[in-house]
């Protein structure tokens, strides 16, 4: 969780960072996880994790990574947890009010996706304001989609099921693409290797020290890539897989559409430069 809670621009009532103290551990209960290197046991959706305490804290919080729960140190609800718990269900916990359990667990994954969409749209709005290269029509599209998504987060829980998330994500993706193209074109980007394209397979690639400014690496597979000391400013990283990527000394201060989850899945250090709204994860050393 960031030192200073993040809120959606123009909407101080909508948080974009988690406030676990005002949630009922919805990520540890509503969501399902398969046993993997990120989560040490099978946990069906709707069933509380075996490591969850009665007060909604995690009994192995200080040892998560060592005990095989690395995914829990990476997960981010973008502020959806407290919104569902406090705003949509009036602060009634699913333990004390069993009648809210099913609708609350059903609402959380949907609202989480909406908050993630707002995370991206919020960045796009900042880019629209700060970059003259972004046209008025792209900016208007981003503003309109933001208000539409805000409205969806305020729906009655029973109506959330009807939200067409795939269709919304597609429209938001197009709007973000327009912003990204404008911003990256203004930033230059000549000299970026031709293999650095959206969706590129860059598993374990050696990109240490490279200047990648302006590249479009949307959805690229950068798993375990060596990006130490790389210049990733104005690189579109929307949906890029950065698991175990090495970001020590890399400059991501102006990387586009980066999320805290992507950063937490990678490794970095005190020299890694991150966008202002993303704090270095607690597990980064040095």
List of residues contacting ligand SF4 (CB under 6 A)? 28, 49, 51-52, 58, 60, 69, 72
Residue written as tokens 């102006």? 254
Q: In this structure, are strands 7-8 and 11-15 parallel, antiparallel, or unpaired?
A: antiparallel
In the complex, minimum distance from the CB of residue 125 to ligand SF4, in angstroms, rounded to a whole number: 32
Closest separation between CB of residue 264 and ligand SF4, Å?
13
Rg (CA), the chain: 19
Q: Output 60 or 134, the one with its CB closest to ligand SF4.
A: 60
Residue 153 C-beta: closest distance to ligand SF4, Å: 23
10 Å CB burial of residue 130 (0-12, 13-18, 19+) is exposed
Considering the complex, state which of residue 61 and residue 129 has its C-beta at the smaller distance from ligand SF4.
61
Query: How many alpha carbons lie under 13 Å from residue 176 in its C-beta half-sphere?
Result: 23
Task: Classify burial at 264, counting beta carbons within 10 Å of its beta carbon; exposed 0-12, middle 13-18, buried 19 or more.
Answer: buried
The residue among 43 and 83 lying less far from ligand SF4, judged by its C-beta, is 43
Q: How many residues does the chain have?
A: 286
69/257 with CB nearer ligand SF4: 69
CB of 102 to ligand SF4, least distance (A): 19
Query: DSSP secondary structure string, 1-55?
Result: --SS--EETTEEEEESS--GGGS--STTTTS-B-SSSS-SS-B-TTS--TTB-TT
User: What minimum distance in Å lies between the beta carbon of 87 and ligand SF4?
Assistant: 22
CB closer to ligand SF4, 52 vs 133? 52
């Amino acid at each position: 969780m960031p030192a200073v809670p993040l809120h959606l621009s123009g909407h101080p009532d909508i948080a974009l960072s988690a406030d676990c103290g005002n949630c009922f551990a919805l990520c540890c209960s509503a969501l399902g996880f398969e046993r993997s290197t990120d989560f040490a046991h099978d946990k069906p959706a709707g069933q509380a994790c075996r490591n969850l305490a009665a007060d909604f804290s995690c009994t192995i919080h200080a040892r998560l990574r060592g005990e095989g729960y690395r995914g829990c140190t990476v997960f981010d609800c973008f502020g959806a947890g407290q919104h569902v718990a406090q705003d949509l269900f009036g602060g009634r916990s699913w333990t004390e009010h069993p009648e809210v359990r099913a609708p609350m667990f059903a609402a959380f994954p949907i609202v989480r996706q909406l908050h993630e969409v707002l995370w991206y749209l919020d960045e796009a709005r900042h880019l629209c304001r700060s970059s003259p290269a972004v046209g008025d029509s792209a900016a208007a599209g981003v503003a309109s989609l933001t208000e539409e998504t805000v409205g969806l987060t305020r729906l009655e829980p029973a109506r959330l099921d009807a939200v067409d998330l795939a269709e919304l994500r597609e429209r938001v993706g197009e709007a973000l693409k327009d912003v990204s193209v404008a911003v990256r074109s203004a930033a230059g980007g000549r000299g970026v290797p031709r293999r650095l394209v959206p969706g590129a397979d860059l598993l374990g690639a050696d990109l240490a020290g490279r200047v990648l400014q302006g590249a479009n690496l949307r959805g690229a597979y950068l798993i375990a890539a060596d990006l130490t000391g790389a210049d990733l400013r104005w690189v579109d990283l929307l949906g890029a897989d950065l698991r175990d990527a090495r970001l020590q000394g890399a400059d991501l201060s102006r990387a586009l559409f980066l999320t805290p989850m992507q950063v937490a899945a990678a490794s970095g250090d005190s020299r890694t430069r991150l966008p202002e709204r993303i704090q270095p994860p607690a597990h980064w050393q040095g």
